[in-house]
Amino acid sequence: MCMKRVPKSPLRDRLATNLRVERAKLGWSQERLAQEASLNRTYLSAIERSEQNISIDNLWRLSQALQIPAEVLLTSRAADK
């Protein structure tokens, strides 16, 4: 059986970039953020490489750990435009 390959979305790339930026602002490692959000570090790493889809619940967990609104992780930044 062959699985259909779905192209990754620009939104996934935006999330990956914003997640790295917000984590760096706090000086946190992936391991620290994963721990704060109660997620697996390898899962977080795949999200930051734009290789993994993320559920809304996990997006919320990350935003809570970073103490920012979830929409910040999905929004284009002025410098990117």
| pLDDT, mean over the chain | 91
Q: Does the structure show a pLDDT above 70 at 3?
A: no
Read off the pLDDT of residues 13-44 as tens digits, 9 standing for 90 and up: 999 999 999 999 999 999 999 999 999 999 99
pLDDT digits (tens, 9 = 90+) for 49-58: 999 999 999 9
Return the axis-axis angle of helices 41-48 and 10-26, rounded to nearest 10°: 120
Question: Residue type for 77, please?
Answer: R
Domain extents in the chain: 24-75
Tokens 């795949």 sit at which residue?
46
Q: For residue 76, what pLDDT is reported?
A: 87
Question: What is the predicted pLDDT for the residue at 17?
Answer: 96
Please give the CATH superfamily to which domain 24-75 belongs: lambda repressor-like DNA-binding domains (1.10.260.40)
Residue 46 has pLDDT above 90, yes or no: yes
